[in-house]
Structure 1
Amino acid sequence: MGQTQVKALRGIELRIDTNEYVALMGPSGSGKSTLMNLLGCLDTPTRGRYELDGKDVSKMDDTELARIRNEKIGFVFQTFNLLPRQTTLENVALPLVYAGISKKERQARAQAVLDSVGLGDRVHHRPNELSGGQRQRVAIARALVNDPAIILADEPTGNLDTKTSIEIMEIFEKIHQAGNTVILVTHEPDISEHAHRIVRLRDGIIESDLRNTSVRRASDPEHRYNQA
């Protein structure tokens, strides 16, 4: 930033195993967004290594990184990032276009994953015809359509009310139970409690890395009552 050098991360060491459910937490400026970008192959470290499935992706070029993102990682964003002129089905099928999948198969796979998030009857709707919760479901379906091993979710409930947030967390629980690795960035303690492991960052270092011994389930009736 001009003459100022900002060290977003300061030589951290972190290992995430297959099928873990991890929440990354920390105040603004703690480095959690930078860490998410590195894990998602959206950025590369200035020093050090990042290995994904045993491969050092920190040395890959843009083309290789794009292929890794498309094949292995599904992204869910706070602002949904849906194309406003495209239908729900077209938004979900978009990653398959880049993967070179035929139109017929794209539509079939997009329909199947929309069915799985409860939006099978909204395939022809555009984003402005959907509620915030429905748009986030579309974003989750788009993240799942390529059957990635890793789901990265950046503040996925940040724009949603409490009831809708609980519904979205139920979907993430099902995704994790299906065998996916889920990495969640959040500043909300209630949301982080759904994860099995909570990593807290501050000033570019890992402040704590703890197992969550009391995982909160969105489907728990008591949880629903407390959040009402």
Structure 2
Amino acid sequence: MQGIIHLEDICKSYYLGKQELEVLKGINIDILKNEFVALMGPSGSGKSTLMNILGCLDTTTKGRYILNGHDVSRMIDDDLAEIRNKEIGFVFQQFNLLPRLTAAENVALPLIYSGIAKKERMERALEVLHKVKLDDRSHHKPNELSGGQCQRVAIARALINDPAIILADEPTGNLDSKTSHEIMDILGKIHTDGNTVVLVTHEEDIAAFAHRVIRLRDGVIETDSINANPSVIIQPA
């Protein structure tokens, strides 16, 4: 069965002068709708390059990438930008919030590019902030929020366009253990609500929340395994 993400013989090379550096060497992956997948691998394994290709931030040297029915392998930049805005919600380690905007304004930002009127943008922003339990901080700016709260704002922003896929790149990398688990609890709920979640991490305890773990090494898939007992957060009564 072809997945919502279908990678077929994906290769990626960079050139340093005349020297070719092969980063990905024939990656084949199918990720089905509503899977929760962790991508892992040591430095230099190719996981960041693969994430950039999945997020349509970079293009392949060879191979086909089908994203939710769209062949994005050879799309031009404008088309890739449109696909990114419609199909993918990004969550980054650094949050990437605009400091002069409130939480709600940061969340609503992607809707500007969709031509949504301001009133509707703010209404939808408050709805998704409620999903990440941050609607009471909607008028606060990033410097008035904790790191965990900033990441929840970033997750809400990723959800605002109702994307097919959430791509989370080291989303707990700047957070302490307790806050990291709170963020993973939110991503777990997003997955339970029907989203496909792809997570890049180097932390085993974070990957343990995923239902499937794909490990890369030297540009190839080393293992692709099902996690039969994914971690869950037990909420206090």
| TM-score (norm. length: structure 1) | 0.94
Contact 2:68–2:164 (CA under 8 A) maintained in structure 1: no
User: How does 1:1-228 map onto structure 2 within 5 Å?
Assistant: 1-219=16-234
| AA of the residue aligned to 1:43 | D
Instruction: State the partner residue of 2:10.
Output: none
Contact 1:170–1:219 (CA under 8 A) maintained in structure 2: no
The structure that is strand-richer by fraction is: 2
**In 2: Cα distance, 1:220 partner to 1:26 partner:** 30
SS in 2 for 1:199: strand
**In 1: Cα distance, 2:154 partner to 2:209 partner:** 20
Instruction: State the partner residue of 2:6.
Output: none
The CA RMSD over aligned residues, in Å, is: 1.1
Which stretch of structure 1 is more off in the superposition, 128-137 or 47-56? 47-56
Unaligned runs of 5+ in 1: 222-228
**In 2: Cα distance, 1:218 partner to 1:25 partner:** 21
The CA deviation at 1:54 is: 2.6
Moved over 6 A (4+): none
The CA deviation at 1:220 is: 6.8
The CA deviation at 1:55 is: 2.3
SS in 1 for 2:137: coil
**In 2: Cα distance, 1:155 partner to 1:75 partner:** 11
| AA of the residue aligned to 1:123 | S
Aligned length: 221
**In 1: Cα distance, 2:40 partner to 2:224 partner:** 10
**In 2: Cα distance, 1:196 partner to 1:165 partner:** 18
SS in 1 for 2:129: helix
Contact 1:109–1:145 (CA under 8 A) maintained in structure 2: yes
Contact 1:194–1:218 (CA under 8 A) maintained in structure 2: no
Q: Deviations over 1:88-116 (max 9, x none)?
A: 11100000001111101000000111111
Which stretch of structure 1 is more off in the superposition, 153-162 or 46-55? 46-55
Contact 1:137–1:168 (CA under 8 A) maintained in structure 2: yes
Higher normalized contact order (CA 8 Å, seq sep 6+, divided by chain length): 1
Q: Deviations over 1:199-220 (max 9, x none)?
A: 0000000000000011111237
SS in 1 for 2:32: coil
Contact 1:40–1:69 (CA under 8 A) maintained in structure 2: yes
| AA of the residue aligned to 1:44 | T
SS in 1 for 2:22: coil
